[in-house]
Amino acid sequence: MDAFKTLTGRAAPLRIANVDTDMIIPKQFLKTTERTGLSKGLFYELKTRGDGSPDPDFVLNREEYKDASILIAGANFGCGSSREHAPWALLDQGIRCVIAPSFADIFYNNCFKNGILPIIMPQSVIDRMMDDARGGNHFFTVSLEEMEITLPDGEKLSFDLDGTRRHNLIEGLDDIGLTLQAEDRISEYEAKRKLSMPWLEKSA
């Protein structure tokens, strides 16, 4: 998993509340276990017209937001089913940070496991960020090390995050990475077990 320390990039405003995981990545795109290529299904029903052509009014279809790495969203983002394809699709699009007033719990946890930083900010701050992102200067800087968001005008806003999640993102550690940190102790335990309980080992 890629580490997250400091991110400077364009922010795309998605002023919609209760965006569920089926809206993020519809069910017809869940047939793969690969994490690449999912951006084509990201927000599919929002970004395409009935005939399948791109909707030029959808924020991520607009030229100034096509390479956005920060998404500013409405409340209860990521509600609905617990599909892990949702953060995968966001990552495949290049989005590493989602800022919203609130998140669904399972989606929130899945973000940390996949290298996305979800930040909770008050609605009044979200409204201001969306206004900034719609303006001509929509570059934001998110520092996980400093726990700060720098707005386009240079103002810095602090955010809170659990210390363990912060550490794991900064170090680029998912659940497997955390386990591998104890690889020496695991190997030592397995060696001792082979000696003390050889009957547990498969016969050659």
Q: What is the per-residue DSSP string for 70-90?
A: EEEE-TTBTBSS--THHHHHH
Which pLDDT value is given to residue 194? 77
Beta bridge partner(s), residue 5 = none
pLDDT at 30 over 80: yes
Q: What is the strand order of the sheet 6-14 is part of?
A: 117-120, 97-100, 70-73, 6-14, 139-143, 148-150, 156-158
Q: Does domain 6-174 have CATH number 3.20.19.10?
A: yes
pLDDT band at 91 (very low <50, low <70, confident <90, very high): very high
Residue 53, phi then psi, degrees to nearest 5: -80, 155
Show Cβ contacts of residue 154 under 8 Å, excluding neighbours closer than 6 positions. none
pLDDT at 89 over 70: yes
pLDDT, tens digit, for every residue of 152-174?
999 999 999 999 999 999 999 87
pLDDT at 66 over 90: no
Listed by start position, the domains of the chain span 6-174
| 61 neighbors 108 (Cβ within 8 angstroms) | no
Which pLDDT value is given to residue 204? 46
Unique residue bearing structure tokens 């405003």: 13
For 54, 117, 159, the CA distances from 172, given in Å and listed in that order, are 34, 11, 20
pLDDT at 203 over 60: no
| 79 neighbors 104 (Cβ within 8 angstroms) | yes
| 169 neighbors 108 (Cβ within 8 angstroms) | no
pLDDT band at 45 (very low <50, low <70, confident <90, very high): very high
Interatomic CA distance for residues 22 and 151, integer angstroms: 31
pLDDT band at 178 (very low <50, low <70, confident <90, very high): low
Which pLDDT value is given to residue 138? 84
